Copies of this chain bind each other. A is one copy, B any other.
């Protein structure tokens, strides 16, 4: 991630490093607000706008994946910055990766059938996770 920024002549500021650290250190798909709260622990004067600017930059260089689950705020995955399916619990709102399903074939089949040049996808399954099922 750091290398990718250096390659493209972007500056490595403390604020950016802090955002990178949160993203790289979490597989919980944090929101911008959540990243902001975490970054403020070490850099209390950081602005929320800076978080958004950093996320926009990371999106552009394909180092972070933006996930919209219709929850009115987006989530970010810095661990797997390529399209992949997610599994969201409607009860506890946890978001996990659903790597066990491979949709590249589906995507290829769709492209062949329709003539579309498919460049991206966003796939979210919603339900109740095993833990929340127990909590009836």
User: Copies of this chain, how many?
Assistant: 2
Decide yes or no whether A109 CB sits under 8 A from chain B: yes
Give Cα distance in the complex from A68 to B113, angstroms: 24
Partner of A113, one of B89, B100, B116: B100
Chain A residues bordering chain B, tally (CB within 8 A) = 34
Q: Is the CB of B117 within 8 A of A110?
A: no
23 contacts between A and B (CB under 8 A): A66-B70, A68-B70, A70-B122, A89-B116, A98-B110, A100-B110, A100-B113, A100-B114, A101-B106, A101-B109, A114-B129, A114-B130, A115-B133, A116-B128, A117-B133, A118-B125, A118-B126, A119-B127, A119-B128, A120-B127, A122-B124, A122-B126, A123-B123
